[in-house]
């Protein structure tokens, strides 16, 4: 038995509403709360919250003074087919692609705030 239950994964960013809408368009879900400094996206019963960080500085992953700190892995049937849509939403493909050395099982992108996230091939 655990002492607690996970409530939310919270992502600091400079524009919570914009980033919530990016992820809603990417993975679905519904924005259930939207304040200027706090936006909640519920996806399949899981909460991803976006919190205003006025002094936000994007991660400099894979090197530099600001590591990625967290990232989301998103499963798609075909990364090559999904890539144009992800880029159209405002993501950018990262210059560093460690998935190529891992058998090309995932590809790294940056969300509009600069957080790394991965598109992963469905293992099914």
Report the chain's C-alpha Rg in angstroms: 15
Domain 1-56 class, CATH top level: alpha beta
Residue bearing tokens 């957080």: 115
Domain ranges across the chain: 1-56, 57-124
CATH superfamily, domain at 57-124: 2,3-Dihydroxybiphenyl 1,2-Dioxygenase, domain 1 (3.10.180.10)
pLDDT of 42 strictly over 90: yes
Q: Residue 102: its pLDDT value, please?
A: 62
Dihedral (C-alpha) 70, 76, 79, 85: value to the nearest 10 degrees? -90
pLDDT of 99 strictly over 90: no
For residue 49, give the nearest of 65, 61, 36, 33 by alpha carbon: 33
Q: What does the pLDDT look like over 61-83, one tens digit per residue?
A: 988 888 888 889 999 998 999 99
pLDDT of 17 strictly over 80: yes
pTM of the predicted protein model: 0.86
Mean residue pLDDT of the chain comes to: 91
Residue bearing tokens 């992502």: 11
Q: Residue 100: its pLDDT value, please?
A: 75
Distance separating alpha carbons of residues 115 and 106, to the nearest angstrom: 16
Could you give the 3-state DSSP secondary structure of residue 20? helix
């Amino acid at each position: 038995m655990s002492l607690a239950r996970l409530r939310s994964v919270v992502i600091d960013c400079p524009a919570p509403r914009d980033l919530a809408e990016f992820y809603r368009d990417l993975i679905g879900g519904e924005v259930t709360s939207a304040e200027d400094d706090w936006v909640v996206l519920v996806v399949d019963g899981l909460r991803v919250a976006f919190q205003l960080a006025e002094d936000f500085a994007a991660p400099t992953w894979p090197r530099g003074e600001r590591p990625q700190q967290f990232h989301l892995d998103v499963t798609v049937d075909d990364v090559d087919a999904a890539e144009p849509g992800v880029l159209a939403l405002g993501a950018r493909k990262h210059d560093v692609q460690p998935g190529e050395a891992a058998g090309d099982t995932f590809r790294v992108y940056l969300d509009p705030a600069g957080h790394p996230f991965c598109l992963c091939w469905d293992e099914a």
